[in-house]
Chain A
Amino acid sequence: MAIKTIVEALREAIAEEMRRDPRVICIGEDIGVEGGWGGAFTVTLGLAEEFGHERVLDTPIAELGLAGVAVGAAIGGLRPIADVQYGDFLFLCMDMLANQAAKMRYMSGGTLTVPLVMRAPVGSTRRGAQHAQSLEAFFTHIPGLKVLAPSTAYDAKGLLKSAVRDDNPVIIFEHKVLYGSKGPRAVEGAISAAGEVPDEEYLVPIGKGVIRRPGRDVTIVGKLLTVYRAMAAAERLAQEGIEAEVIDPRTLVPLDKELILESVRKTGRLVVVEEDNLTGGWAGDIAAMVAEEAFFYLDAPIKRVSAPDVPAPFAPVMEQFYVPSEERVIEAVKWVMGQK
């Protein structure tokens, strides 16, 4: 057992899966170049030395093409782990992910599989509007894709390994603030998501959430960075006698609905926190699901805490305002508690 960052945990997961199964390859931009970064945030650093450039495949700057090649390779019997440098670039791959990877099995009448993993860093990190978006909700809306959002090193490793072994296309969102990237690729304002990662092999099942902090008064659901915002808020609320239960679904598709519903049935109050824009977001979907399935357990209206409906701004003061803060979570909890 050792303490590892998310970057280290992901790198270890990829290396273990590549050792276990020769069909696993990595494909992406700047992922295996000698003297390069090992991907935009160092996740694949050193892998080409062990596995060679045939299995750690550097592509041209061509996101649609690399996603398409990964889809074809997956149908053809490989198990590609593709990545984009920033999640925002997924829009360039959208046809391959939304029209091809997600629908190919269905269109074939269930006769083929697309065991593709697509990794994508998300979150606002002082890089402006095109290197900042939280795109999870977009992908939860596309039937045929599994969507993962690990917030700890333990989950990052276990979920990525499960994703590689899954016979369906899986998008795994990784938060830049939580990565723990080092050296010149370190992220300003990083939060440590490092944690104990077992030496022995383990998997985290896709579709199972966790309770990060138990509580009786209010349920707070977050993902990625906002799990940490929710936890920090919960600690401060506890000093005022409000016990918040913090839930991290870890997997957005398929969603561990029962974990959320069970918590809401107990607390009677729900706050959903996410870094994505408010309209059409994931938080709205969780709120609707709870309203449909646990309305009569609710003691107060549901509250969403999201980024406002604007692009991610650059200036740190504006960015801090944009990304849901601990204070906004506290305010939302007090509102559902009827204290404001």
Chain B
Amino acid sequence: MSDTQAPLLEMYRKMLTIRRFEERCNLLFMQGRIPSTLHLYIGQEAVAVGVCAHLRRDDYVLSTHRPHGHAIAKGVSLNSIMAELHAKATGCCKGKGGSMHVGDMSVGMLPAIAIVGANIPIAAGLALANKRLGTDRVAVAFFGDGASNEGAFHEGVNMAAIWDLPVVFVCENNLYGASTHYSKVSKLENVADRACAYGIPGVVVDGMDVVAVYEVAGEAIQRARQGGGPTLIEAKTYRLCGHSRSDPRNYRSKEEEAFWQARDPIPNLAGRLKAAGLVTDEQLEAIEQEVLAEVDASVAFAEASPSPEPTDALTDVFYTPQEA
């Protein structure tokens, strides 16, 4: 695929939106203006964006404790995510979820699932429903390299495989499960090599290259949509930040970080677009300003929003017909 075929500028804008949104979250967190912890997606944006570019609103995305990028890529509004991070009643989970559970069912984004690996069988179940209900909707589960050693990975991928379910498993191998290097927890170089154990295709892709991700994901999603069953994609990527807000990153070298920093997917795509004559510096600057304005607006929305009432904690436990 040539650079002119993929929706490159849209993907660039989406990646930049995720990056600037999270940089702002980080700042707000450091200023003590948002509570909790944050697991930032900085560096991995090409994966969420390259995959979600193929998804329809009614397809499902299942995410992890590091969900902001997936949520934005799937179309959850910045306002509602920012308000959720601010613990406001207008948040996408009404303040009941927080950073690790952002989602919005109206755009097919489940509340993110912060138990490592648990979203894998659940994605298979959504795909089972899609198939049984006669739709061509697909489900995509994003998870990290750490999740590939959970029993839930084995059980979920296997069931999806034996029933040819319309689901795509996207492993974002960022080399570290928290602080533990992937090489310490697997004899295999690639998570994707495990696909053969389930009789499904496994593909390794450069997760720092949104065009490469877009291409591989397109095939897998089309295959799932057409009844060809699941695919395991492994995107080789890197967190250009700590695991969470309390991580000084002493377990990895400055050289390693510099190697990956040079592969940052956002400036790289900008460079490619400019070299190909597809975008000018002025256009890039205009996108930057538009994205920053959108992020500013989300913060203003969140700050102006009301907090939930303490007793709102008591609602939404059970569905009751009166709520309908």
Contact = CB atoms under 8 A, between A and B. Distances in A.
Contact of B93 (A57, A76, A107, A113): A107
A73 B129 contact: yes
Interface stretch (B111-119, B257-265, B281-289): B111-119
Contacts of A70: 125
Nearest to A68: B121
A95 B152 contact: yes
A100 B126 CA distance: 14
A118 interface: no
B41 interface: no
B315 A65 contact: no
Interface of A: 23, 25, 54, 57, 59-60, 62, 64-78, 80, 95-96, 99-100, 104-113, 143-144, 146, 167-168
Given A64-B155, A100-B113, A72 B128 contact: yes
Contacts of A77: 129, 133
Contacts of B323: 110
Interface in B118-141: 118, 120-130, 132-133, 139
B242 interface: no
Contacts of B120: 68
Given A78-B129, A99-B115, A68 B101 contact: no
Most-contacted residue by chain B among A66, A71, A107, A146 (CB, 10 A): A107
B162 interface: yes
Contacts of A23: 132-133
Interface string B281-324: 00000000000000000000000000000000001111100010
Contacts of B152: 64-65, 68, 95
Contacts of A168: 318-319
A64 B96 contact: no
A243 to B, nearest CB: 37
Contacts of B97: 107-109
A100 B122 contact: yes
Given A72-B125, A76-B130, A62 B159 contact: yes
B230 interface: no
A105 B129 contact: no
8 A-B pairs with least C-beta separation? A72-B125, A68-B121, A65-B155, A76-B129, A109-B94, A110-B316, A72-B122, A69-B125
B148 interface: no
Contacts of B124: 65, 68-69, 72
B123 to A, nearest CB: 6
A72 B129 CA distance: 8
Contact of B318 (A69, A72, A73, A144): A144
Contacts of B110: 75, 104, 108, 112
B60 interface: yes
B317 A106 contact: yes
Nearest to B98: A107
A69 B121 contact: yes
B158 interface: yes
Contacts of B121: 64-69, 71-72, 96
Nearest to B109: A108
Given A60-B162, A107-B96, A78 B318 contact: no
Contacts of A110: 94, 96, 315-316, 319, 323
Contact of A68 (B93, B111, B132, B155): B155
A66 B162 CA distance: 13
A74 B159 CA distance: 16
A168 B317 CA distance: 9
Interface in B87-101: 91-97, 101
Nearest to B315: A110
A89 B128 CA distance: 23
B105 interface: yes
B174 to A, nearest CB: 23
Contact of A64 (B126, B129, B151, B315): B151
A80 B106 CA distance: 22
Nearest to B129: A76
B115 A68 contact: no
A217 B124 CA distance: 55
17 contacts: A23-B133, A68-B155, A69-B128, A72-B126, A73-B132, A75-B110, A78-B133, A96-B122, A99-B118, A100-B122, A107-B96, A107-B103, A108-B101, A109-B92, A110-B315, A110-B319, A167-B319
A276 B323 CA distance: 36
B307 to A, nearest CB: 14
A76 B106 CA distance: 13
B229 interface: no
B156 interface: yes
A23 B129 CA distance: 9
Contacts of A71: 121-122, 125
Most-contacted residue by chain B among A57, A65, A96, A100 (CB, 10 A): A65
A143 B103 CA distance: 21
Given A74-B125, A78-B128, A78-B129, A100 B118 contact: yes
A96 B118 contact: yes
A111 B102 CA distance: 12
Nearest to A104: B111
B246 to A, nearest CB: 23
Contacts of A111: 104-106
Nearest to A62: B155
B125 A73 contact: yes
A78 B165 CA distance: 15
Contacts of A57: 163
A26 B53 CA distance: 35
A113 B110 CA distance: 11
A144 B317 contact: yes
Contacts of A68: 118, 120-122, 124-125, 152, 155-156
Contact of B127 (A72, A99, A105, A107): A72
